[in-house]
Structure 1
Amino acid sequence: MKIKFNNLTIICQFLLIAGIGSSCQPEQSNLPSPNIVWIVSEDNSKHYMRLFDENGIETPHIEKLASQGVRFDRAFSNGAVCSVARSAIISGCYGPRTLTNYHRNIQAAPMPDSLRMFPHYLREAGYYTANNAKEDYNFIKGDSVWDESSNKASWRNRQSGHPFFYVHNIGTTHESRLHFTAEEMQNNATQTKLDDYQVQPNHPDDSVFRYTNAYYRDKIQQMDEQVGEVIAQLKQDDLLDSTIIFYYGDHGGVLPGSKGYIYETGLHVPMVAYIPPAYKHLSAWAPGSATEAFVSFIDLAPTVLRLAGLPTPSRMDGKPFLGQGLTKNKLEQRNTTYGYADRFDEKYDQVRSIRVGPYKYIRNYQPYNFDGLLNNYRYKQLAYQDWQDKHHSHQLNEVQSAFFESRPPEMLFDVEADPYETNNLADDPSFAPTLVALRKKLNTWVTHMPDLSFYPEYFLLDQAIDNPVAFGQTHQSDIKKYAQIADLSLQSFDDAKAKLITALSSSDPWERYWALMTCSSFGQQAMVLTEEVTQVMHKDSLLINQVKAAEFLGLSKAVDPAKQLVDCLYQSQDPTEALLILNSIMLLRSAPHHYTFEIDLKQLQSKVRKDKMVSWRLTGLNISI
């Protein structure tokens, strides 16, 4: 059903009947609804643009947009990679709640009951919706999202008089643009001078990183030119006075340790919004101003709907930050954002973060994993290879080496004083109150969502994919229980020991699963539980628990886990389960563990052997299919 846009009463009644949200707010009289344009650049954190950071390069077109609009100095993606970030944007929902937090989803998830991708509501209200051209959602996309989504999509294709919502994606700064070779580096000079910008303190300061820094900033300036071209087209069409324009990066940058990681360089994005003078009542901030109010990607959908005079659907997690009736005082009290990282292609991890004001708390649920664990696509970048080579040849200092070493279960940073998160304050007694407060707040978020990733992905695909949100609500108390077992790693081992022994013998396999990973978090301290863990390795009914038991025994040097892990790999009938097993094999094969694994491809189950991401992981193990 199409609704005539000018009859706002009918729109509101329709949305209320559909159970979407509260009543609409009236717009100023005689004003047509604004057009809304998003200009989205791929793989840019705020750290590399002068508008946001003194170590950044000039972006004249974006800077001009900010001089006439609002600069958001605290804008954040919730995920640090394309599909995860864009799933939060299109839904207004946190990924761990909707099962859209893995990159990329092996199977697309349905939208939560009664919720649609937000452009659907704009279309129902009379907007022309166009996307040029990247989608990359982890959700099943309905037919009612876009009037057009292609590399030919444009507001110019709409019928005359229709307001429009248009998304323009720029891929110039995408990670793939940094996949140059050593020969290309030597033969192609950058426009940006190699010594004009500082290398991050966690990176080796060498020719490869200096070139990569300069080359990336060249790409950012090219992207800025493309931003200017879109704005020029709007001006040419006499639309600037009726169009609200956003520029933002779709998640963090691509220098090593940013995209794919929930450090600030992976989550803290540049964002600017221009609101024409006639629509100044839709912004709490004056033109040319900047704000430190926290905005997250889950807030973008509610914001666009409010700008269009539509309510926020009740199942969205985000809140609008522009639109009629919002006050500057209340908006600038917003000081919190959440982040999450799970599987990126073939590489598994489970990390959650919360930032409140200047403090960032990171919870590593599998701290024995290390950030630099091989991801094939990531390591196409010469700087990643250079960083790893220098680690292997012992040419890095302590800060630079941390990327290739196991992490503590929890980390705390003052990101204003320490923007690259190199000084962990978690063990500093003077920051204990901050640590405890952020830990508690993160735990509340994880358990109230609830966070589905306390079950392994392959199990969720089998049991939860038809309705992830309902599955989470049904199993919320179980998820809280698993999170509590995981948090035993934050206690002393003496205090946690008895509870771990109980969990290792639980009738609930996922209690055993988390007890095993918590033992691995303790490492050598948990070796007194070797007998209990060995029993699990040989007798557990769940294949993945046998794997996690072997993983602990290998990490603690109690036994060589290679045969057990390879035998479990051969038994696995599920490619996603096999991928998780291969992640343990890759970890234990890597430094400092150096176990040797001999995998016979012929013994892999046919379905496993043919899986794309399994083949990527096997390639990383130097096994060709």
Structure 2
Amino acid sequence: MNYRFLFSTLLFCCFANLKAQQPNVVWIVSEDNSKHYMKLFDAHGVHTPNIEKLAQNGIQFNRAFSNAAVCCAARSSIITGVFGPKLATHYHRSEQKVTLPENIKMFPEYLRDAGYYTSNNAKEDYNIHKSNEVWDDSSNKASWRNRKKGQPFFHVYNIGTTHEGSLHFSQKEMETLKTETALESVFVQPNHPQTKTFSYTNAFYRDRIIKMDAEVGEVIRELERDNLLESTIIFYYGDHGGVLPNSKGYLKETGLHVPLVVSVPEKYQNLSPFSSGTATNTFVSFIDFSATVLNLAGITIPETIDGTPFLGTNISKNTLQNNETYGYADRFDEKYDMVRSLRKGNLKYIRNFQPFMVDGLMNNYRYKQLAYKEWKALFDTGKLNDIQSQFFKPKVAEELYDVENDPYETINLANNPAYQKSLKQLRKNLSGWMRSMPDLSLFPENYIIDEAFNDPITFGTAHKKEISNYLKIANLQLIPFEKAKPKLAKYLDSSDDLERYWALITCSSFSTQAAVFSNQIQQIMRSDSLLINRMRAAEFFGITGILDSSNYLTEMLYDSTNEKEALLILNTIALQQDYYQKYQFNIDIKKLDKAVFNNKLIQERLKYLNHELQY
């Protein structure tokens, strides 16, 4: 008898049987909807019978979160399991893509190595150069049906029905198209105007949710027709929050808190610490999704993944003690900002690193929505209350909310004496997280593109000390000005370009309190070696009104040969024109560098500033 042959055959059979035991995994993803619009998760939502049925036989995650509030930044974290500010994948939309280090892969590669068939139908939207090893098929024809017989599969199905663009209807359409959801009964959140436009937009959007739910049901029925329901773990989730004003792109709960339901068949119940048909308040984030799928497939989770699994082998309710989630928002489209958040339990901490920025600053794609346009018009005519007006006013450096009692984050508790201990702890935790990544946003975007995009992890490791120092300068915003003043004086005179950069931003955060530095800042505006430092100095004067810096900003724009640098300058030009000294800028496009002028995001800003676009 050929024992070697027999042994090989038995080994092959055992291996094949092991593979057969691996669960299939399907992700059904809907675009741009937070949990607030589904009755399954929120009293003000609509019924979604297919998702509700999935929850009846699955697990309802009441505390599921995106780490970023906009498409590609969120999807880049999902596909790598790495926080965006660590990989420089957190800008929306990045016109240049990051190169992943050799030891970091998009996680479907690990699944393919383990024998899985991977398919994606069809949206990718990553800020990363994609390897050819990620998907067996990524197209609008991608399906699990194209795999080899008996091969386990991972399939993603994307539904665009609820995308932001669906709300770009016209005034005429709003007046003529009826909604299935009754306008008189629909809920309009308290930070929004209580108008017909907002009622219609809410009703129309809920109609889209209902339509999306039907599409979810169709995917599930396709699995049933193929006799795959008993061997497939199904995830339904929203790809981030949205999409009514002040949600998508912003670190509100409406921008981050997503619906998530996971159905685990009976044969794989050993891979779930939760019983079917139950709901859990365990915190899970997108950063955990890749680790979870790999763990379900029995694949060792790479150390480079930042997240932790919430399903799979060796997971129990005792190991799932997490009750916090981190968020980040930087540039989306042509609008710049830098915001970080930490929710722990029912408390939500938001850190605005440029509190002089205004959330409502013009962003062309946002303002294609009638609700955005009306909101701004009502603000301009003084028809909003204090809560509704906050979107169009400068922010504060720190915000703190009890989101269980104040779900739309309208009452800032940061100065409430009863919450000071919690505030300080959350502040410390957030700063520690930023240092540990480290957070590359402490460098300007144009600098990151030039220096870090080819290897962001190595760059961050090499500059960890500087990043920590720049964060320390930014955090001077959190102490009284008189205590910060001597340190700011030192940093404004530093030989380190970015120490001066963050000192200028911090001075702008203090506004006229920092007028004592006017001469020093004026010198920086006129002669600093770094153009964006000159811009930040001009920004300070635009915010404080100490002197007219509009001509300086215009000349800086003409001097710039870097697209992201020029976009940042245009951001503060828009800010000055609309919200501070109301300077009127006359930009001669013939004086712009050719590469700068040809940039699509810059053209969006120029069209608006030259009055070719309106709010």
Match of 2:304 among 298, 308, 315: 315
Q: CA deviation at 1:342?
A: 0.4
Q: How does 1:331-342 map to 2 (within 5 A)?
A: 331=320, 333-342=321-330
Match of 1:77 in 2: 66
User: CA 1:30/1:346 → structure 2, altered by over 3 Å: closer, same or farther?
Assistant: closer
Q: How does 1:579-590 map to 2 (within 5 A)?
A: 579-590=567-578
Native 8 Å contact 1:68 1:288 kept in 2: yes
Q: Deviations over 1:479-510 (max 9, x none)?
A: 01000100101010000000001000000000
Secondary structure of 2:421 counterpart: helix
Native 8 Å contact 1:306 1:320 kept in 2: yes
**TM-score of the superposed pair, with normalisation by structure 2:** 0.97
Name the CA distance, whole Å, in 1 between partners of 2:173 and 2:215. Answer: 24
User: CA 1:7/1:150 → structure 2, altered by over 3 Å: closer, same or farther?
Assistant: farther
Name the CA distance, whole Å, in 1 between partners of 2:275 and 2:101. Answer: 37
Q: How does 1:277-426 map to 2 (within 5 A)?
A: 277-331=266-320, 333-426=321-414
Name the CA distance, whole Å, in 2 between partners of 1:218 and 1:137. Answer: 29
Match of 2:427 among 436, 439, 443: 439
Secondary structure of 1:105 counterpart: coil
Match of 1:462 among 450, 472, 475: 450
Match of 2:233 in 1: 244
1:429 correspondence with 2:417: yes
Native 8 Å contact 1:80 1:341 kept in 2: yes
Match of 1:100 among 70, 89, 94: 89
Name the CA distance, whole Å, in 2 between partners of 1:170 and 1:159. Answer: 26
1:527 correspondence with 2:515: yes
Q: CA deviation at 1:7?
A: 7.4
Name the CA distance, whole Å, in 2 between partners of 1:30 and 1:561. Answer: 67
Secondary structure of 2:325 counterpart: strand
1:121 correspondence with 2:93: no
Secondary structure of 1:599 counterpart: coil
Match of 1:183 in 2: 172
Q: CA deviation at 1:539?
A: 1.6
The list of structure 1 runs, each at least 4 consecutive aligned residues, that deviate by more than 3 angstroms after superposition, is: 6-11, 27-31
Name the CA distance, whole Å, in 2 between partners of 1:29 and 1:79. Answer: 37
Native 8 Å contact 2:542 2:580 kept in 1: no
Native 8 Å contact 1:346 1:617 kept in 2: yes
Secondary structure of 1:56 counterpart: coil
Match of 2:182 in 1: 193
Match of 1:562 among 514, 537, 550: 550
Native 8 Å contact 1:45 1:270 kept in 2: yes
1:471 correspondence with 2:459: yes
Match of 2:75 among 86, 100, 107: 86
Native 8 Å contact 1:47 1:53 kept in 2: yes
Name the CA distance, whole Å, in 2 between partners of 1:527 and 1:8. Answer: 76
Match of 1:14 in 2: none
Name the CA distance, whole Å, in 2 between partners of 1:9 and 1:314. Answer: 31
Secondary structure of 1:595 counterpart: coil
Match of 1:543 in 2: 531
1:573 correspondence with 2:554: no
Secondary structure of 2:120 counterpart: strand
1:499 correspondence with 2:483: no
**Partner amino acid, structure 1, of 2:90:** N
1:40 correspondence with 2:26: no
Native 8 Å contact 2:442 2:470 kept in 1: yes
Name the CA distance, whole Å, in 2 between partners of 1:189 and 1:622. Answer: 36
Q: Deviations over 1:537-565 (max 9, x none)?
A: 11211111011001001101101111000
Q: CA deviation at 1:113?
A: 3.1
Q: Deviations over 1:199-243 (max 9, x none)?
A: 000000000000000000000000000000000010111100000
Name the CA distance, whole Å, in 1 between partners of 2:350 and 2:19. Answer: 49
Q: CA deviation at 1:197?
A: 2.2
**Partner amino acid, structure 1, of 2:480:** S
Q: CA deviation at 1:623?
A: 5.3
User: CA 1:7/1:478 → structure 2, altered by over 3 Å: closer, same or farther?
Assistant: farther
Specify every segment of 5 or more residues in structure 2 that has no aligned partner in the other structure, as ranges. 1-7
Secondary structure of 2:358 counterpart: coil
Q: CA deviation at 1:377?
A: 0.3
Count of paired positions: 605
Q: Deviations over 1:44-71 (max 9, x none)?
A: 1001100000001000000000010000
User: CA 1:623/1:193 → structure 2, altered by over 3 Å: closer, same or farther?
Assistant: closer
Secondary structure of 2:318 counterpart: helix
Q: CA deviation at 1:330?
A: 2.1
Native 8 Å contact 1:98 1:112 kept in 2: no
**Partner amino acid, structure 1, of 2:601:** M
Match of 2:144 among 155, 166, 169: 155
**Partner amino acid, structure 2, of 1:424:** N
Native 8 Å contact 2:28 2:159 kept in 1: yes
Q: Percent identity?
A: 55
**Partner amino acid, structure 1, of 2:340:** R
Secondary structure of 1:412 counterpart: strand
Q: How does 1:263-274 map to 2 (within 5 A)?
A: 263-274=252-263
Q: CA deviation at 1:157?
A: 1.2
Q: CA deviation at 1:409?
A: 0.3
Q: How does 1:52-67 map to 2 (within 5 A)?
A: 52-67=41-56
User: CA 1:131/1:460 → structure 2, altered by over 3 Å: closer, same or farther?
Assistant: same
Match of 1:19 in 2: none
User: CA 1:135/1:481 → structure 2, altered by over 3 Å: closer, same or farther?
Assistant: same
Q: CA deviation at 1:520?
A: 0.4
Match of 2:127 in 1: 138
Q: CA deviation at 1:592?
A: 4.0
Secondary structure of 1:270 counterpart: strand
Native 8 Å contact 2:586 2:610 kept in 1: no
Name the CA distance, whole Å, in 2 between partners of 1:560 and 1:43. Answer: 41
Q: CA deviation at 1:593?
A: 2.7
Q: Deviations over 1:447-472 (max 9, x none)?
A: 11100001100011111111011101
Name the CA distance, whole Å, in 2 between partners of 1:578 and 1:10. Answer: 61
Match of 1:490 among 461, 464, 478: 478
Match of 2:212 in 1: 223
Secondary structure of 2:131 counterpart: coil
Q: Deviations over 1:97-150 (max 9, x none)?
A: 000000011210012331210000111111110000000001110000000000
Name the CA distance, whole Å, in 2 between partners of 1:402 and 1:491. Answer: 23
Name the CA distance, whole Å, in 1 between partners of 2:610 and 2:41. Answer: 42
Native 8 Å contact 2:19 2:152 kept in 1: no
**Partner amino acid, structure 2, of 1:273:** V
Secondary structure of 1:500 counterpart: helix
**TM-score of the superposed pair, with normalisation by structure 1:** 0.95
**Partner amino acid, structure 2, of 1:495:** K
Native 8 Å contact 1:371 1:405 kept in 2: yes
Match of 1:16 in 2: none
Report the aligned-residue RMSD.
1.7
Match of 2:5 in 1: none
Name the CA distance, whole Å, in 1 between partners of 2:161 and 2:412. Answer: 34
Q: CA deviation at 1:265?
A: 0.3
Q: CA deviation at 1:535?
A: 1.1
**Partner amino acid, structure 1, of 2:429:** K
